[in-house]
Amino acid sequence: MIAFALSLTIALVSLAVALNIYRLVRGPDAPDRILALDTLYINAIALILLFGMILGTRLYLEAALLIAVMGFVGTVALAKYLKRGSVIE
Amino acid sequence: MNLRFGFPQPLLSFALLLVWLMLAGASAGNAVLGLILAWLLPLFTRAFWPDNPAIRKPWKLAAYALRVIADIVVASVIVARLVLSFRRSPRSAFVCYPLTLEHPLGITMLASTISLTPGTVSADVSNDHKMLLIHALDVTDDQALIDGIHKRYEKPLLELFQ
Amino acid sequence: MTFAAELIVSILLVTGGAFALVGAIGLARFPDFFTRLHGPTKATTLGVGSIAMASIVYFFSQGQSAGVTELLIMVFLFLTAPISANILAKSAMHIKVGIMENTRGKPWDQ
């Protein structure tokens, strides 16, 4: 049952990633693209967690934590660049 | 003496210790190292924390957190239904919310709560910290939304900070 | 691994995946930026939180060394999602992105 649920969830999240990439490519304005990137890294965390469960190892959790931290910093830096024209004033 | 060598931010120190133990695993050695970090880091970064700790009743935080977690689940179901109702387009609106909270940390907590709960994202706070601009996804009655937020979230936060 | 644990893990996993997908659909389908903001901040965050919870239950019921890194990831995501939504909304108001016609009220820019 878990194997099936894992495959199904990976399919769902992959579909979500595809939709995010659609918005990333299409997105009329820059904030739409940043939002798409933001959602993309959150979905990447989900995929890493699922991958770790398939392999039965907890090693990848550190990578997921790092992506969570760095992704947030990246989103804030990009949004701040849009608003102010520079990241560090 | 207390300001120079003590714990200027007790809650911050506690959070640091907790996160350290969760990251590195709970053992006696890690607890000692975590305690040293929890003591030194707030001391070194004291200049970046202009305000004194403002939460008077930390134990009330738990009840508030539980309520917010429950509301996040409800909120996501509501948003999911809106997203999946393909036929009608949402009636969105910008709503100005008058703040009674004054402390910056309180305003931050309220804004974050609003962003995570049903159909509303807090977009901006006015320069004098008196108004909050909220974007609501699907709303017809602005006043009901404002009253709901005031009763459900701002009241408990006000109690927390007094 | 007991049947109950398997059931809980499966339900959490599929719920999480469904919420992540709903957030992405919201991102892809809504007409203007501010409505698009709602899907990812709520649905996607809850989806990943649910998957992290499934991971906790899964490794715990397998009897591996119980860790709480997933819990840290979850807390961090729930703390940062509203902040990035807020700063994105601010920058969007600053560069004045298009807003759909039937929106009541106006964004301010200061």
Given a cut of 90, whether residue A17 has pLDDT beyond it is yes
Asked if the structure places residue B53 within a domain, the reply is no
Instruction: Please indicate whether, in this complex, the C-beta atoms of B79 and C26 are within 8 angstroms of each other.
Output: yes
Residue B55, burial from CB neighbour count under 10 angstroms (0-12, 13-18, 19+)? middle
Instruction: Please indicate whether, in this complex, the C-beta atoms of C110 and B79 are within 8 angstroms of each other.
Output: no
Is the same domain home to B85 and B117?
Answer: yes
Instruction: Please indicate whether, in this complex, the C-beta atoms of B83 and C43 are within 8 angstroms of each other.
Output: yes
Give the one of B86, B91, B94 whose C-beta lies nearest to C106's C-beta. Answer: B94
Q: Give backbone dihedrals phi and psi of B98, rounded to 5 degrees, phi first.
A: -75, 125
Residues of chain B with C-beta less than 8 angstroms from the C-beta of C93: 123-124
Q: Which of C1, C54, C39 is nearest to B119 (CA)?
A: C39
Q: Which is higher by pLDDT, C107 or B67?
A: B67
Domain boundaries, chain A: 2-15+30-84
Percent of chain B with pLDDT over 90: 1
Percent of chain C with pLDDT over 90: 17
Asked if the structure places residue B138 within a domain, the reply is yes
Is the same domain home to B34 and B64?
Answer: no
The answer to whether the CB of C25 falls within 8 A of the CB of B84 is yes
Q: Which is higher by pLDDT, B32 or B159?
A: B32
Work out how many domains chain B is built from and give that number: 2
Residues of chain B with C-beta less than 8 angstroms from the C-beta of C34: 92, 121, 123, 135
Residue C14 at interface with chain B, using a CB cutoff of 8 Å = no
What is residue C105's DSSP assignment?
S
Candidate from A39-43, A44-48, B31-35, B120-124 with smallest mean pLDDT: B120-124
| Averaged pLDDT, A56-63 | 86
Nearest chain B residue to C92 by CA distance is B123
Other Cβ atoms less than 10 A from the Cβ of B85: the count is 11
- Which uninterrupted H or E stretch holds B131? strand B131-136
HSE value, Cβ hemisphere, 13 Å, CA-based, for A17: 15
Measured between alpha carbons, how far is C78 from B117 in angstroms, rounded to an integer?
A: 12
Other Cβ atoms less than 10 A from the Cβ of B97: the count is 20
List the domain range (segments joined by +) for residue B115.
59-160
Asked if the structure places residue B79 within a domain, the reply is yes
The encoded tokens of residue B2 equal 């207390």
Instruction: Please indicate whether, in this complex, the C-beta atoms of C62 and A2 are within 8 angstroms of each other.
Output: no
Chains that touch B (3 or more CB pairs under 8 A): C
Measured between alpha carbons, how far is B24 from B32 in angstroms, rounded to an integer?
A: 12
pLDDT reported for residue C18: 92
Residue A48 — pLDDT band, cuts 50, 70, 90? very high
Give the one of A8, A23, A82 whose C-beta lies nearest to C27's C-beta. Answer: A23
Q: Give backbone dihedrals phi and psi of B110, rounded to 5 degrees, phi first.
A: -65, -45
Given a cut of 80, whether residue C28 has pLDDT beyond it is yes
Q: Which of C58, B17, B161, B72 is nearest to A58 (CA)?
A: C58
Asked if the structure places residue B84 within a domain, the reply is yes
| Averaged pLDDT, A60-71 | 90
In tens, the pLDDT along B113-151 reads 888 877 788 877 877 778 888 888 777 777 888 888 888
Candidate from A47-61, B80-94, C16-30, C71-85 with smallest mean pLDDT: B80-94
Nearest chain B residue to C25 by CA distance is B83
Is the same domain home to B81 and B44?
Answer: no
What is residue B53's DSSP assignment?
P
Is the same domain home to B43 and B75?
Answer: no
* Maximum average pLDDT range among B51-60, B88-97, C14-23: C14-23
Three-state DSSP class for residue B151: helix
Q: Which is higher by pLDDT, C5 or B118?
A: C5
Percent of chain B with pLDDT over 70: 91
Percent of chain C with pLDDT over 70: 88
| Averaged pLDDT, B62-84 | 83
Q: Which is higher by pLDDT, C7 or A85?
A: C7
| Averaged pLDDT, C72-95 | 88
Give the one of C6, C9, C44 whose C-beta lies nearest to A42's C-beta. Answer: C44
Asked if the structure places residue B77 within a domain, the reply is yes
| Averaged pLDDT, C24-28 | 88
Candidate from A18-27, A74-83, B5-14, B49-58 with smallest mean pLDDT: B49-58
What is residue C37's DSSP assignment?
T
The answer to whether the CB of C58 falls within 8 A of the CB of A2 is yes
Q: Which of B142, B144, B125 is nearest to B133 (CA)?
A: B125
Measured between alpha carbons, how far is C51 from A54 in angstroms, rounded to an integer?
A: 13
Given a cut of 80, whether residue C99 has pLDDT beyond it is no
Give me the residue label for tokens 């967690």: A49
DSSP C14-30: HHHHHHHHHHHHHHHH-
Residue A7 — pLDDT band, cuts 50, 70, 90? very high
Residue B43 — pLDDT band, cuts 50, 70, 90? confident
Asked if the structure places residue B94 within a domain, the reply is yes
Asked if the structure places residue B116 within a domain, the reply is yes
Residue B1 — pLDDT band, cuts 50, 70, 90? very low
